[in-house]
Amino acid sequence: MIIIRQIDEMRRAVRREKGQGRTVGLVPTMGYLHEGHLSLVRLARREADVAVVSLFVNPIQFGPKEDLKSYPRDFERDAARLRIEQVDYLFAPADKEMYPGEHRTFVEVRGLQDRLCGRTRPGHFQGVCTVVMKLFQAIEPDCAVFGRKDAQQALILQRMVADLNIPVRMIVAPIIREPDGLAMSSRNTYLDPAERKAALVLSRSLAEARAAVDAGNRDAAEIVAAMRAAIESEPLARVDYIEAVDPADLAPVAELREGTIVALAVFIGRTRLIDNMLI
């Protein structure tokens, strides 16, 4: 695996690969890799000849009171994991390489960026879209793989690619969970043992919602209310949002149908966790 820190070097390497007829797949990450990330890497390796993983904790997608400073980092461990997965290139630029001076240009996907997580995290998706656009410019991948764990992010990025005619094939991969159901996340490392247990309310409430849907209930308000009750019964949990939304515009729906996304964000202590399911 070749580790690259400079944008121009990354672009040259990819152009060389493409010149030899190989396709390139990109997996953008913020590191502290877990099995969820690695599932995307494996998918990229299946979908393209050359796998590039980017590792960059993007400062502009964090709010002023968020966890940029404390975000977990372990470069050597991440690199070792990616070597085992036979990743070809690890692109790990410094902050100064990505944002060398005052940055004035941003990509936003209006409307979609303000829903769900966008309400609690204003500016977050603008930061995500801008960095992914920059990664696409630096790497010029044929395809890019994102996780459905961040369902809103995936939908917003797909919309950005469509609206701006970006020649990247977008692939969205399923959520990888711990054996007990908790969706894997780098932020799970913030949880102490009691919080780790309490965090199960997210996946449990989704499983109960799934069971209600399977039993024929399509009433979004009823299903969301039952999820809220389940989560509020957990003393360490505080609901940020629970919503059933249309994937096209992320607007709340009254009735669940195929394609509806049931998404939630919950604070467990001071850690904000998200999860979702696709009907």
Residue numbers at the binding site for ligand AMP (CB under 6 A) = 29-30, 36-37, 39-40, 146-147, 149-150, 173, 175-176, 183-186
Residues near 279 by beta carbon (within 8 Å), at least 6 away in sequence: 213, 256, 257, 258, 259, 260, 261, 262
Is-contact 38 85, C-beta < 8 A?
yes
Nearer to ligand AMP, 111 or 174 (CB): 174
Name the minimum Å distance from CB 39 to ligand AMP. 6
Name the minimum Å distance from CB 184 to ligand AMP. 4
DSSP state string for 154-212: HHHHHHHHHHTT---EEEEEPPPB-TTSPBP-GGGGG--HHHHHHTHHHHHHHHHHHHH
DSSP state string for 29-42: E-SS--HHHHHHHH
Nearer to ligand AMP, 7 or 38 (CB): 38
Torsion of CA 5, 24, 110, 57, to 10 degrees: -30
Residues near 144 by beta carbon (within 8 Å), at least 6 away in sequence: 25, 26, 27, 28, 132, 136, 168, 169, 170, 171
Name the minimum Å distance from CB 88 to ligand AMP. 18
Residue located via tokens 């499983």: 207
Catalytic residue among 34, 37, 103, 124: 37
Nearer to ligand AMP, 91 or 146 (CB): 146
Nearer to ligand AMP, 172 or 244 (CB): 172
Name the minimum Å distance from CB 243 to ligand AMP. 18
Active-site residue flag, 37: yes
Name the minimum Å distance from CB 151 to ligand AMP. 8
Nearer to ligand AMP, 134 or 149 (CB): 149
**Active site residues per annotation:** 37
